[in-house]
Structure 1
């Protein structure tokens, strides 16, 4: 039996539509690049999120400083949904956005961002 003959179990369907997670919003009010590393603010760890709440899951993930793109992949939600939810958590004071590349970034900073992105992709 080859690997192509085996039945692949179907992925569990996500019953919550993305627009329900964001209340129909498609953008965030803050500048939030998809490569921006995020960090949970210490006080956010004391907030009680309802079970299976997407925001609580994001707070837990951000203890390891993932990017917005990584959060999208890890939670299996569209990038736009991840950006809106993360933006809400930043404006509510639960997450902090770290800067990435600017026009004045050095070559070393640019290489570090590329390396961090590649390491993140390999971890997925």
Structure 2
């Protein structure tokens, strides 16, 4: 804490801007019911038929920012976290809220266990070359 010469003290520097704690953005929640689907590379896509999210008074500015970013281009959870400068856990909770409100949907990546085996693909390619 430093004094500014006029007897007032500063708890942060002037470049820090407004400070809102992550737990305030999520209303104290650390997870969401849909969180099991929200790994870092899950792609968040805005629903095409949604109205202007800024007109909804129940949404926070961060919710609106997520919908706006995903409306232009689908974004991964990691990209949203970086773009909004928010912790990944906060973004997961906020995206879960938006999924519940049907403002966005999430496309999960295919788990590696469900991908075809590389050996099978190699055999198919070799078979096609043999024709």
Q: TM-score, normalised by structure 2?
A: 0.66
What is the CA–CA distance in structure 2 between the aligned matches of 1:45 and 1:71, rounded to whole Å?
21
Alpha-carbon distance between aligned partners in 2 of 1:107 and 1:44, rounded to the nearest angstrom? 40
Q: Which runs of 4+ in 1 moved over 2 A?
A: 10-14, 43-47, 49-52, 105-108
Unpaired runs of 5+ residues, structure 1, are 1-9, 109-124
More strand by share: 2
- Whether 1:55 and 2:59 are equivalent positions in the alignment is no
* Distance in 2, Cα, partners of 1:43 & 1:62: 13
Alignment-derived partner of residue 77 in structure 1: 86
Following superposition, the deviation at residue 13 of structure 1 comes to 3.5
Residue 67 of structure 1: aligned partner: 76
Structure 2 unaligned spans of 5+: 1-13, 119-131
Q: Tell me the equivalent position of 1:17.
A: 21
Please give the alpha-carbon distance, in whole angstroms, between the structure 2 residues aligned to 1:52 and 1:87: 13
Q: CA RMSD in A?
A: 2.6
Please show how residues 1-124 of structure 1 align to structure 2 within 5 Å. Answer: 11-30=15-34, 31-47=37-53, 48-49=55-56, 53-63=61-71, 64-102=73-111, 103-106=113-116
Structure 2: how far apart are the matches of 1:74 and 1:17? 17
| 1:5 counterpart residue number | none
TM-score, structure 1 as length reference: 0.70
C-alpha contact (below 8 Å) 1:44/1:59 kept by paired residues: no
What is the SS of the residue equivalent to 2:64? helix
